[in-house]
Amino acid sequence: MCVITALTAQNTQGVSAVQAIDGDFVLAQLESISADIQIDAIKIGMLANAEVIRAVSSWLNTVDAPVVLDPVMVATSGDRLLEDESALDSLLDRACVITPNLLELASLLREAAATQWPQVLEQAQRLAAKHDVLVLAKGGHLAGDFCPDALVSSTGVLAEFSSPRHQTKNTHGTGCTLSSALATIYATDGDWIQALEKSKAYLVRAIGAADQLTVGSGHGPVNHFVDFFSEADPMQEWWQQIDGLRGSIDGLEFITQLSDGTLPSADFEYYLSQDAFYLQRYAQVLAEASVLAPDLEAQRFWASSASAILEGELQLHRSYLAEGTANPSAITLNYVNHLAASKQSYGELIAAILPCYWLYQDIGKRLAAANHDQHPFEKWLSTYASEEFDLATEQAINMVRMAWKQSDGALRERMRVAFVRSSEHELAFFDQARQNRVEFSTV
C-alpha cells in the first residue's frame, strides 16, 4: 500500500517543483491503511518538511513493523527535496535500515561527501553507531567499472555485494527501487543480508533493461517490469544446457589437483604449452571479431581483449615455460580450427569465443578459494579470479546477448551450436594431459 507525502513536477531532466501534502492528511492516510491492512514492512521515502516528518513519526509509534528509511534529501540530479534536514534526525532512530546516497550520507553527518569507497564505508559505520541502525552504503555514484553496495553496522561491514556498471544514462529511481525491494524482500525472508543480495540483483536487471523503455531525453527510469515482460535470457539457457559439462570439468583430476596443489609439474607445463599456442590463435580470433563487430563499443572491447592476451596472459604463461614453442596437440588444433570455422558471421564467432571467458571465470572462482601465497600455481590461479576478469566476462556475455537479439532464428541456432561445441572443446582441452577422450555431442 502507498501513502502520498508529496507531489512533484518532474521529468527525465529533473525536478521543477515540490508540493508537500498536509501533515494531517498524511496521518489520515496512514491510519486508514493500518486500521484495515496488516503491515509486514514499511519503506519511507520522500518527506518534504518537518510537518510531514512529525506525522509519520507519530504514526510509527502505533505500529510494529521493520522500517527501511530512504532519506530522500537530494535527488541524483542534484535537486534538493527536503526543506529542513535536521527534522529528519528523530526519524532515523526509529528505522531498522537507512539507505542514503552519497550526498545524503554526508548531509546526515554534516560533512563533505566521500569520494572513495573506504571513506563511504567509514561514514556509514559512524552513522550506524550514531542512530543504532544498519546503513546501506551505496557506491553507484563513485567512479569505476564496478558498483559496490554494503550493509554496515556500528561494528563494520556485515556484507558487501558488487556488480559491473551498466553503461546507461537511464538510472532514474535506482535508490527508491533498491530500498523498496529491500523492505519487500525482508518482509518475506526476514534476513537483511539475503534481502540486500536479492534486491541488488533485481536492481541490476532493472538497470540493464532500462534502455528498452526509451522514456524522455534525459535520465529515464529503470525498468521495474524486467522480470515480467522480458523474454528468457538466452545466455542463461545456454549456460544451463552445459550444466553437465561444467560438472565434468569440475570433476577432472587436472582441476582437483590444480586446486590442491598436487598437480604434477609436467602435466601443468604441458597444459600451459598448449594454452600458450591456443592463446596466440585466440587473440587473432578476437581481433577478427573486432573487425566484424557492428559498432565502435564492440570493436574496442574485442580489440582490447586481444591486446590483453598478448601483453598479459601470454607473458604469464612464458614465465612458467622454458624457451621454445611446443607443437600443438590434436586437441588444441581441433579447438582453434573450430574457432576459425565459426567466422561465417560476427554472432557465430563471438558465441564460439564466449566459453573461454565464461568457463574460466566460473572455474576460477572456485579455484580462488583454494589459492594462497604459498600455492605452487598462485600466479596462474589469480589471473582468472579478479574483478577485471569478471568485468571482461560480463561484457563478453552482454556482447553475445546483444548479437543474439539482433539475429534471426537460423543464426541464433548456429550461435548456440558454436557455444556448446566450444564448451566441449574446453573440457577436452583441460583434460588433454591425461589423454582422456571427450564425447562430442551432435548439438
26 and 172 in a common domain: yes
In a domain, 12, yes or no: yes
Is position 171 annotated as part of the catalytic site?
yes
Catalytic residue among 171, 177, 184, 393: 171
What is the per-residue pLDDT for 165? 85
CA-CA distance, 309 to 174, in Å (whole number)?
A: 36
In a domain, 161, yes or no: yes
φ/ψ of 76, rounded to 5, equals -55, -35
In a domain, 441, yes or no: no
Q: Can you point out the beta strands (E) in 63-182?
A: 67-69, 97-98, 134-138, 146-153, 156-164
Three-state secondary structure of 160-205:
EEEEECCCCCCCECHHHHHHHHHHHHHHHHCCHHHHHHHHHHHHHH
Is position 138 annotated as part of the catalytic site?
yes
386 and 305 in a common domain: yes
CA-CA distance, 220 to 243, in Å (whole number)?
A: 37
422 and 401 in a common domain: yes
Note down the domain range covering 106.
6-228
Is position 96 annotated as part of the catalytic site?
no
Give the end of a domain, one of 173, 203, 228: 228
Residue 56, SS3 per DSSP: helix
CA-CA distance, 142 to 148, in Å (whole number)?
A: 9
In a domain, 439, yes or no: no
In a domain, 219, yes or no: yes
Closest by CA to 318, choosing from 356, 285, 287, 279, is 279
Closest by CA to 406, choosing from 322, 313, 304, 295, is 295
Long-range contacts of 243-249 (CB under 8 A, 24+ apart): 245/423, 245/424, 245/427, 246/359, 246/362, 246/423, 248/427, 249/359, 249/363, 249/426, 249/427, 249/430
What is the per-residue pLDDT for 439? 47
In a domain, 320, yes or no: yes
Catalytic residue among 5, 99, 138, 184: 138
In a domain, 182, yes or no: yes
Catalytic residue among 5, 174, 332, 393: 174
Catalytic residue among 23, 45, 140, 173: 173
276 and 203 in a common domain: no
CA-CA distance, 188 to 182, in Å (whole number)?
A: 10
φ/ψ of 422, rounded to 5, equals -60, -35
Q: Is 392 within 8 Å of 357 (Cβ atoms)? A: yes
CA-CA distance, 54 to 91, in Å (whole number)?
A: 9
Give the end of a domain, one of 228, 254, 270: 228
Closest by CA to 151, choosing from 182, 176, 107, is 182
Is position 198 annotated as part of the catalytic site?
no
241 and 218 in a common domain: no
Is position 62 annotated as part of the catalytic site?
no
In a domain, 337, yes or no: yes
Q: Is 137 within 8 Å of 105 (Cβ atoms)? A: yes
Catalytic residue among 176, 177, 332, 393: 176
289 and 151 in a common domain: no
CA-CA distance, 107 to 96, in Å (whole number)?
A: 19
Q: Is 68 within 8 Å of 179 (Cβ atoms)? A: yes
CATH number for the domain including 149?
3.40.1190.20
Per-residue pLDDT of the chain (443 residues; tens, 9 = 90+): 899 999 999 999 988 998 999 999 999 999 999 999 999 999 999 998 889 999 999 999 999 999 999 998 755 555 555 555 667 888 999 999 999 999 999 999 999 999 999 999 999 999 999 999 999 999 999 998 889 999 999 999 999 998 888 888 999 999 999 999 999 999 999 999 999 999 998 998 899 888 888 889 999 999 998 877 756 789 999 999 999 999 999 999 999 998 888 988 888 888 888 888 899 899 999 999 999 998 888 999 999 999 988 876 555 555 555 555 568 899 999 999 999 999 999 999 999 999 999 999 999 888 888 888 888 878 777 776 778 888 999 999 999 998 998 888 889 999 999 999 999 999 999 988 765 444 444 44
313 and 207 in a common domain: no
| Residue type present at position 270 | Y
| Residues 6+ positions from 259 with CB-CB distance below 8 Å | 366, 367, 370
Is position 409 annotated as part of the catalytic site?
no
278 and 221 in a common domain: no
CA-CA distance, 235 to 355, in Å (whole number)?
A: 11
Residue 151, SS3 per DSSP: strand
200 and 241 in a common domain: no
What is the per-residue pLDDT for 85? 62
Give the end of a domain, one of 228, 245, 262: 228
218 and 139 in a common domain: yes
How many Cβ atoms are within 10 Å of 78's Cβ, its own excluded? 9
Residue 3, SS3 per DSSP: coil
What is the per-residue pLDDT for 231? 67
| Residue type present at position 301 | F
Distance of alpha carbon 48 from the chain centroid? 33
245 and 214 in a common domain: no
What is the per-residue pLDDT for 75? 52
What is the per-residue pLDDT for 397? 96
**pTM exceeding the 0.95 threshold for the entire prediction:** no
Catalytic residue among 175, 208, 220, 364: 175
* Total number of domains constituting the chain: 2
286 and 209 in a common domain: no
What is the per-residue pLDDT for 1? 87
CATH number for the domain including 262?
1.20.910.10
CA-CA distance, 202 to 70, in Å (whole number)?
A: 18
Residue 176 is placed in which grid cell?
Answer: 527508491
What is the per-residue pLDDT for 315? 59
